[in-house]
Amino acid sequence: MLSFGDEKGDRMRKVTLAALAAAALALAATAAEEELELATASLEDMVKAARGAYRAGEEERYAELVEAAAAKFEPADVYFALGGEFLEEEPPDFAMAVRAYEEAMRNVEPSERLAYPEVYYNMACSYARLGDAGKSLDCLRATLEAEPRFVRYVRGDGDLASLREEEGFEELLAHAEEEAEEAEVEYMTVKPDEPAPDFALTDLYGKEYRLADFRGSIVVLNFWATWCPPCRQEIPDLIEFARDHEGEVVVLSVTVDDPTTDVAAFAAEYGINYPILRDDGETAAAYLGATGGIPQTYFLDAEGRAQGHVYGSAPREVFEARLARLESAAGE
């Protein structure tokens, strides 16, 4: 399952669509008190209360709460949140999740439905877990039509394992991967074959690193921040990638955190094994462009030219694929 933040590339994590943090609503016993509570309750409160009622076997109460929430808030938002809530359960209730998501989509104009690729992805995963390969593939097609870059998650997603032998699955992924690569160039401030801007940045301990010093080596340059959930999501994969390609690839990261942030403590907690450089106010801007979206990762060839890019978080498989393509091109 996936959850994404406020921009398309950011926040690509295998969790549910809605991370609802509020505590369950304590409903009053009397009708008057209940009406007052419902009048002031947030969407998160009402959705959590509805899920609680369903788990307690109070289906009528569940229906009443959902109806009340849909009257107070946008119905689509209510059902999107419900879908996320049912996927938060242990174990996840896939049947109720897709039931909620389907209802949410019925409350969205058909022309606007592709604006919710993460919902379609969660539906694809849920239907696959329920054994409905047909509906799962349909939802996956909608996902990749809306946002081809979601293909980066598919091959490694255990929820979709049952689809891998289905007819048309590989063709679907191959087409999406081709479109995703074309779209990725649009997010590159430093375009393919352009020289990467040089820099001289210090690490957390005052040691200076110049990009030019690594000419002759492949460099993987990652821009991130401690406050960025998608950045934190990909750090374990980047750590493994750096470890397994030590001596073959130079992994550098540039943090755009405020200078007062204790990045060293964060790095120690995560076990980061590659240099962390502090941005100087110019370097990140030169690579990230006007949007400044993070994480972003550039793959630079031995001549210091941009040859690959990842916008948003990605699993290790994506980093390996970018590296393999760069190495293959270098050997031609």
Kindly list the strands in the beta sheet with 306-311, ordered across the sheet, starting from the edge strand earlier in the chain: 276-278, 249-255, 218-224, 296-300, 306-311
31-182 folds as 1.25.40
Rounded Cα–Cα distance for residues 99 and 84 (Å): 11
Helices (H) and strands (E) in the chain — how many of each? 13, 7
Burial of 325 (0-12, 13-18, 19+ CB in 10 A): middle
pLDDT at 12: 36
Alpha-helix residue ranges (DSSP H) falling in 112-218: 117-129, 133-146, 151-154, 169-186
100 touches 122 (CB < 8 A): no
Rounded Cα–Cα distance for residues 159 and 168 (Å): 18
pTM exceeding 0.85 = no
Helices 133-146 and 169-186: angle between axes, nearest 10 degrees = 20
Nearest to 311 by CA among 117, 119, 150: 150
Q: What are phi and psi of 277, to 5 degrees?
A: -105, 145
For CATH 3.40.30.10, the residue range(s) in the chain are 200-331
For CATH 1.25.40.10, the residue range(s) in the chain are 31-182
Rounded Cα–Cα distance for residues 248 and 215 (Å): 13
Q: What are phi and psi of 252, to 5 degrees?
A: -125, 145
200-331 folds as Glutaredoxin (3.40.30)
Tens of each residue's pLDDT in the chain, 332 residues: 654 443 333 333 333 333 333 333 333 323 333 443 777 889 999 999 999 999 999 999 999 999 999 999 999 999 999 999 999 888 999 999 999 999 999 999 999 999 999 999 999 999 999 999 999 999 999 999 999 988 988 988 899 999 999 999 999 998 998 888 887 888 889 999 999 999 999 999 999 999 999 999 999 999 999 999 999 999 999 999 999 999 999 999 999 999 999 999 999 999 999 999 999 999 999 999 877 889 999 999 999 999 989 888 888 888 998 898 888 877 65
Nearest to 124 by CA among 85, 94, 92, 167: 94
pLDDT at 177: 86
